[in-house]
């Protein structure tokens, strides 16, 4: 394969990384007023996990609301984080809550994993920490821009 084709493939990959970084930045900085509000009585809550094809576990706190088909969930990056989060004990079954859900998260198996905030009586019970998404998105955007600039310069240099 020629160096030009490799450079073009790397450029395309970096453009995809750039758009991914922009999407993550958008999620990390989304205002509360831009989130979908789902209100309802919690009839069940459950700590659970799923396993990826590679055997990696993803941990969740799922909520089933009265008269709602889809479940809502908070995702955790590790088992210890899911165990140590006190949200499970703050949410009581049989009580009404307001869930602020990020619309950009896709539903998977009837569950929406995009909970950003949970409120009861206008008091925030849970607030998602977006620091990792924010830092990673900025790093991804900057790295992509640098590689795109160098790739374009390399293509121009080889074209001459």
Contacts of 11 (CB under 8 A, 6+ apart): 147, 148, 151, 152, 155
The pLDDT assigned to 1 comes to: 59
The pLDDT assigned to 99 comes to: 95
The pLDDT assigned to 72 comes to: 93
For 118, other C-beta atoms within 10 Å of its C-beta total 23
Instruction: Tell me the C-alpha distance between 28 and 133, whole Å.
Output: 6
Tokens describing residue 21:
């970084």
pLDDT < 50 positions in the chain: none
Compute φ and ψ for 86, nearest 5 degrees.
Answer: -85, 0
DSSP-H helix ranges across 29-130: 79-84, 87-90
Instruction: Tell me the C-alpha distance between 50 and 95, whole Å.
Output: 27
Tokens describing residue 125:
């019970």
| Contact yes or no for 138/17 (Cβ under 8 A) | no
Instruction: Tell me the C-alpha distance between 65 and 111, whole Å.
Output: 11
């Amino acid at each position: 394969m020629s160096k030009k084709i490799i450079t073009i493939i790397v450029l395309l990959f970096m453009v995809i990384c750039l758009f991914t970084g922009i999407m993550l930045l958008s999620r990390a900085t989304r205002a509360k007023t831009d989130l979908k509000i789902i209100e309802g009585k919690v009839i069940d809550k459950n700590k659970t996990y799923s396993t990826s094809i590679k055997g990696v576990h993803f941990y969740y706190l799922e909520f089933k609301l009265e008269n709602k088909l889809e479940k809502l969930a908070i995702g955790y990056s590790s088992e210890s984080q899911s165990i140590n989060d006190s949200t499970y004990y703050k949410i009581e079954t049989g009580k009404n809550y307001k869930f602020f859900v990020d619309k950009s998260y896709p539903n998977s198996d009837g569950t929406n994993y995009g909970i950003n905030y949970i409120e009861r009586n206008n008091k925030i019970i849970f607030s998602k920490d977006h620091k990792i998404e924010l830092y990673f998105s900025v790093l991804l955007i900057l790295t992509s821009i640098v590689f795109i600039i160098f790739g374009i310069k390399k293509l121009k240099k080889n074209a001459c």
